[in-house]
Amino acid sequence: MLKTATTVAGLCLVAGLAQAADRWDGADELAVNPLGCEAGATATVTPKPYDGGAPTGAKDLAGKEITLVDVPKLIGIGYFAATTQGMQEAAKELGNVNVKTDGPTEANIDDQITFLDNFITQGVDGLLFAANDPVAIAPVLKKALGQGIHVVGYDANSQPDAREWFVNQAEFNGIGKSMVDAMAAEIGEDGSFAIVTSTFTTPNQARWIAEMQAYAEKCHPNMKWLETVEAQEDNILSFNQATTLLNKYGDELKGLFGMTSVATPASAEAVTQAQLCGKVAVVGLATPNAMKPYVAADCVKSVVLWNPVDLGYAAVQVMRAVADGKLQAGATEVEAGRLGKLPIVNGSEVLLGAPFIYSKSNIDQFDF
Amino acid sequence: MATLDAAAKKQGKGWQPALLRHEVLLAVILVIALIFLAAQTDKFLTTGNLLNQGRLMAEVGLVALPMTLIIVTGGIDLSVGSILGLCAIVLGYSWKNLGVPLPLAMVMALGVGTLAGFANGWFITRVRVPPLIMTLATLAFYRGLAEGISQARSVRGYPDWFFQLGQGDVWGVPTQLWILAVAVVITAVILARTPFGRGLYAIGHNEVGARFSGIPVDRYKLIIYTFSGAMAGLAGVIFVSRVSTTRSDMGTGLELDVIAAVVLGGTSIFGGTGTMLGTVLGFIMIQLLKNGLALTGVKGDATIVVIGIVLILSILLTNFIQRRRSGNE
Amino acid sequence: MSTASLARGSSNALGAQLKRLVGGQEMILLLCILAIFLIVGSLNPRFIAERNLSSIFLGNAYVAVAAIGMSMVIISGNIDISVGSLIGVLATISGTLAVNGYPIIVAWLAPLLIGVLVTGFMGYLVAYLRMPSIVVSLGMLSILKGGLISVTSGAWISNLPAGYALAQLRPMGVPMPIWFMVGLTILAAWWMRYTAAGRSIYAVGGNAEAALLSGISPRRTVMMVFLIHGLFVGIASVLFATQLAVIQSTVPPNLELTIITASVVGGVSILGGAGTVIGSTLAAVLLAAIGSSLIFINLSPYWLRAVQGALILVTVLADLLRRRRQARRR
């Protein structure tokens, strides 16, 4: 029986080694839409009819006090603590909104559904969500719409018809371009790089990797992708994985992409502890606080991220506009308090703006 | 429920007189909790909400039934969450990528679950790998297979009829709740009323003794681990139907929820004692606590703290009462 | 407690221990580790470069340290599945003390004390109130995890003071975590084999009634095991917290599974009464070596977990076969 077990292990090994890679590991298979190669290129806006859903029999809430519940992917991590902070800021500013954040303690589709379900039963005026899975979350969101509850997503989308609006922090292809351009600027057009991501099943990360691949093939064809490793949302594991990549490729590896706010600082730490600052570039998505030491030490030149506080703020503003009837199908922009007017794209998405690049000169202005 | 009560009573009058006490205690705590939560919010004790909670707890419930049988024998199965994930992937992959008709794919998923459970049972009985080690290894291995086969792709776009299982109703009651009810009755009868069930208690009490008294210990064990895999497969199919997508990380951490429900229900982790009624009360209690606390505005992080405390206190209380009683007698 | 005195005290014991090693689960693990180094090293020499070897040992040293305490708990016939949450909580406490201006030594020692208090509480419930350890630690897992999220909301701890990074020190050129891993393993192995208290753990785990008859108090032994376990968890959490420049203040995912896997792959019998901490430390190193080597041989990352799981299974089966062959020879 040891033989059988060993054979099974061997077969898995062979299956694993025989895998042909025509796309980068961790990328998804949905259609990609790379932006133009020149600096500042944006997508040509093709008008698209409203494709979101609508609540049935929604109460007239215009100007009235509303109660919202926000269910992020999980609670207890810095990123969603920052979006929560933004939501509270918006609620305070508006004065007629109560918003509470609650959710699962692990990024688990089942737990998130249970939470949403409970809040539908409890009876709220609006639900805000960041989906762990765009399809799995759809039935429960449709149930909410069916009971006249307004539904607005942020950070991670669901199927469009399961919610009214989605506040998009940055378009996937915009992130792809920013990341790859930043990397190319640091390691040159023929540099090799590797990616540290959370898990391959996380939809946002998979989308970004797919867009990065498409953009790199279009605009930086000589850059070489080496491999992608998974590191959960675990900072020590991310550090170990990044270190292993540095050890494996030696001088060949010129850059590391961190796809999460955990992987990026951990990769920077790995480069710092291996004393490769300046030799291996780290580019990635991260929150400023976690990156300050590495940016200050000149080990990381640029960090790509939208401001999650603004994202949460915008989500509540959009929800208020929906409840007041100010944001309706066919609108082209929406008023969002201190953020000014935000454009509507892709039918039913509110775009927060271009991703922000933090660098040594401005990182100290942010605290989240 | 009559069968269950009878089963529990029989068990109580038999060789575990203290056993009935835990279920009674648990039922009393459950009723108090229900009254308390119902007083806090009128949204809690409604037919709609309770049926909906039934829908949400079906997967944990289905897996908790064979887990009770396994823990009664003094074993454990940590791989159930991974088997659930593997079966979900097999269902989605064979339907979407191999073009297998969906009903057949569902059967295949159940088959793979059964096979995965059988493999656990085979190594545990034939090679004598301790259950905890075996299922710890397959916890990693089955999840790994799910990831490898799926290549981290989700499968979506199932036909509407398939959602009947996880999202539909039969006579106003969620479909999976019927399945769960039938499974509860069958396993309760098996555990309490058949020689097989008595054999499981005997194995849990004293495995060597059971062997000498002519109980086919290995065959019994093989059956319950295989059954556990099959039920995890069934739960997987229902889960896919409920959430309408397939992901390789489905069911992560399920094993701990299930074990918590079983031990809260009074089944001793050392084997030899436990009833299906206790397990049913256990998973109902956890689900309703989570739901009721959420409805009264308690946050998720505080809720898991409460559940941890309830778990420890309820077992502590039972131990305490049992010791008082045995001290008095 | 200096490492030098440790080495002196256990040099004889070490010799005896080495002799016993041959033919044991420890030997199998050692061979597996060497085989991985040889095979993967010949495919890609960078694998056995000093830098990579150091990170293999370094990255999982805290797992090995926690697995020492866990092994004792398992040998005594118990288990602790709250260990991952406890490490997360203790690391957060340590980091919070450090950034709030407490002396660094306090930030290092507080987790040890609190770890002992928490596991002591669990040990009391298990030993004196006769609660199953799996229930106690399952409950504790929820309490610690929920409590940590309630208190911190996941805010990262950064700007740690200079000198706090214990795990990044390199006395005599060897990283601190490796000193701890090797030193504590030798100390614990010696203590478990050559002291009455250490041996009583095996007695209690093997047969509590027999132990009682021979004058060992199973309650006191179990209580002691949990207290020591808390100490090791505390040390592991400090190594964990000081490895990077920031602390995540969350519960590391699946850490309890990794630690328990290291213990059982190391040959600790889950039924209690057998196993050594040398085995669990070697197993922790083996798990790290497997993780690293699969990246080096360009295995598709989608199949990584399947191969890891299969390899764990093979190690366990090899151990069982060896035991059975030994039994037959007798």
What's residue C271's pLDDT? 59
Q: CB pairs below 8 Å between A and B: how many?
A: 87
Whether residue B328 lies inside any domain: the answer is no
Which position has the higher pLDDT, A76 or B199?
A: B199
Q: How confident is the model at residue A368 (pLDDT cuts 50, 70, 90)?
A: confident
Q: How confident is the model at residue A302 (pLDDT cuts 50, 70, 90)?
A: confident
Q: Does the domain formed by C3-325 have CATH 1.10.10?
A: no
Is A272 an interface residue toward C (CB < 8 Å)? yes
Those residues whose C-beta lies under 8 Å from the C-beta of residue B253, and which sit 6 or more positions away, are: A106, A108, B81
Are A239 and C243 within 8 A, CB to CB?
Answer: yes
Neighbours of A7 (CB within 10 A): 11
Are B243 and A15 within 8 A, CB to CB?
Answer: no
Q: For residue A81, what is the nearest residue in chain C, using CA coordinates?
A: C153
A136 vs chain B: nearest CA distance in angstroms?
4
Q: Which amino acid is present at A74?
A: L
Q: What is the pLDDT of residues B174-209, one digit of tens each?
A: 999 999 999 999 999 999 999 999 999 999 988 888
Q: Residues A242-271: what's their mean pLDDT?
A: 92
Q: Nearest Cβ partner of B294 from A15, A115, A138?
A: A115
B260 vs chain A: nearest CA distance in angstroms?
16
B38 vs chain A: nearest CA distance in angstroms?
13
The tokens describing B92, both together, are 């989605």
Neighbours of B115 (CB within 10 A): 17
Are C310 and A9 within 8 A, CB to CB?
Answer: yes
Tokens 């070897």 belong to residue: C53
Is B230 an interface residue toward A (CB < 8 Å)? no
Residues B209, B202 contacting (CB under 8 angstroms): yes
Burial of C172 (0-12, 13-18, 19+ CB in 10 A): exposed
Those residues whose C-beta lies under 8 Å from the C-beta of residue B175, and which sit 6 or more positions away, are: B164, B165, B166, B168, B169
Range(s) of the domain holding residue B279: 2-38+45-317
Is A6 an interface residue toward C (CB < 8 Å)? yes
Q: How confident is the model at residue A2 (pLDDT cuts 50, 70, 90)?
A: low
Tell me which chain C residues have a C-beta less than 8 angstroms from the C-beta of B120: none
**What DSSP assignment string belongs to B107-172?**
HHHHHHHHHHHHHHHHHHHHS---HHHHHHHHHHHHHHHHHHHHTT--B----GGGGHHHH-EETT
Q: Cα(C101)–Cα(A227) distance, rounded to whole angstroms? A: 42
Instruction: Using the predicted structure, report yes or no on whether residue A211 has a pLDDT greater than 90.
Output: yes
What's residue A157's pLDDT? 93
Are C316 and B148 within 8 A, CB to CB?
Answer: no
Q: Cα(B88)–Cα(B250) distance, rounded to whole angstroms? A: 8
B116 vs chain C: nearest CA distance in angstroms?
14
> Across-strand partners of A98?
A67
User: Among residues 73-92 of chain A, which lie with CB inside 8 Å of chain C?
Assistant: 75-78, 80-81, 84
Is C159 an interface residue toward A (CB < 8 Å)? yes
Q: For residue B316, what is the nearest residue in chain C, using CA coordinates?
A: C131
Q: Cα(B193)–Cα(B188) distance, rounded to whole angstroms? A: 8
Residue to substitute from C83, C302, C326, interface B, most B β-carbons within 10 A? C302
Q: For residue C319, what is the nearest residue in chain B, using CA coordinates?
A: B129
Q: Nearest Cβ partner of B152 from A1, A113, A200?
A: A200
Burial of B206 (0-12, 13-18, 19+ CB in 10 A): middle
Q: For residue B298, what is the nearest residue in chain C, using CA coordinates?
A: C150
Q: Residues A259-271: what's their mean pLDDT?
A: 92
What's the domain count of chain B? 1
Are B167 and A139 within 8 A, CB to CB?
Answer: yes
Mean pLDDT, rounded, of chain C: 85
Q: Which domains does chain A have, with CATH numbers?
A: 66-170+307-354 (3.40.50.2300), 172-305 (3.40.50.2300)
Are A247 and C310 within 8 A, CB to CB?
Answer: no
B302 vs chain C: nearest CA distance in angstroms?
6
Are C135 and B143 within 8 A, CB to CB?
Answer: no
Are A248 and C52 within 8 A, CB to CB?
Answer: yes
**Lowest-pLDDT choice from A289-293, B203-207, C319-323:** C319-323
Q: Nearest Cβ partner of C320 from B129, B132, B145?
A: B129
User: Among residues 24-53 of chain C, which lie with CB inside 8 Å of chain A?
Assistant: 44, 46-47, 49, 51-52
Instruction: Using the predicted structure, report yes or no on whether residue A3 has a pLDDT greater than 80.
Output: no
- B149 in helix, strand or coil? helix
Q: For residue B299, what is the nearest residue in chain A, using CA coordinates?
A: A102
Q: For residue B54, what is the nearest residue in chain A, using CA coordinates?
A: A114
Instruction: Using the predicted structure, report yes or no on whether residue C245 has a pLDDT greater than 70.
Output: yes
Q: For residue C242, what is the nearest residue in chain A, using CA coordinates?
A: A236
Whether residue B84 lies inside any domain: the answer is yes
Whether residue B265 lies inside any domain: the answer is yes
**Pairing mode of beta strands A253-258, B173-174:** unpaired
Q: Where are the domains of chain C?
A: 3-325
Residue to substitute from A1, A106, A118, interface B, most B β-carbons within 10 A? A118
Neighbours of B306 (CB within 10 A): 16
Q: How confident is the model at residue B85 (pLDDT cuts 50, 70, 90)?
A: very high
Q: Cα(C251)–Cα(C271) distance, rounded to whole angstroms? A: 28
Q: How confident is the model at residue B128 (pLDDT cuts 50, 70, 90)?
A: confident
What's residue C276's pLDDT? 83
The tokens describing A250, both together, are 């030696």
The tokens describing A307, both together, are 């401001």
Residues A159, A170 contacting (CB under 8 angstroms): no
Tell me which chain B residues have a C-beta less than 8 angstroms from the C-beta of C145: 301, 304
Q: Which amino acid is present at C132?
A: P
CA angle B102, A51, A55 (to 5 degrees): 90
Q: What is the pLDDT of residues B253-311, one digit of tens each?
A: 899 899 999 988 888 888 888 899 999 999 999 999 989 988 888 888 899 899 999 88
Residue to substitute from B149, B315, B318, interface C, most C β-carbons within 10 A? B315
Mean pLDDT, rounded, of chain B: 87
The DSSP letter of residue A355 is P
What's residue B29's pLDDT? 86
Q: Model ipTM?
A: 0.86
What's residue C20's pLDDT? 54
Q: What is the pLDDT of residues A112-133, one digit of tens each?
A: 999 999 999 988 999 999 999 9
Whether residue B62 lies inside any domain: the answer is yes
Tell me which chain B residues have a C-beta less than 8 angstroms from the C-beta of C261: 136, 140
The CA-atom distances, in angstroms, between C218 and each of A166, A333, B61, B74 are: 60, 72, 36, 21
The DSSP letter of residue A338 is G
The tokens describing B222, both together, are 């093989």
Whether residue B326 lies inside any domain: the answer is no
Q: What percent of chain B has pLDDT over 70?
A: 92
C294 vs chain A: nearest CA distance in angstroms?
9
Q: Cα(B293)–Cα(B32) distance, rounded to whole angstroms? A: 14
Q: Nearest Cβ partner of B153 from A15, A29, A108?
A: A29
Q: CATH no. for residue B68?
A: 1.10.3470
Closest to C166 measured CA to CA, from C179, C157, C154, C156: C179
Tokens 């992959």 belong to residue: B93
Rg value, chain A, Cα: 21
Q: What is the pLDDT of residues B293-306, one digit of tens each?
A: 888 888 888 998 99
Tokens 């040992």 belong to residue: C57
Tell me which chain B residues have a C-beta less than 8 angstroms from the C-beta of A16: 148
Neighbours of C31 (CB within 10 A): 11
Instruction: Using the predicted structure, report yes or no on whether residue C21 has a pLDDT greater than 70.
Output: no
Q: Which amino acid is present at A18?
A: A
Tokens 């490793």 belong to residue: A229
Are B268 and C150 within 8 A, CB to CB?
Answer: no
Give, rounded to a whole angstrom, the gap between the first and last alpha carbons of chain C.
42
The CA-atom distances, in angstroms, between A81 and each of A85, A95, A101, A102, B320 are: 6, 21, 9, 11, 42
Are C253 and A75 within 8 A, CB to CB?
Answer: no
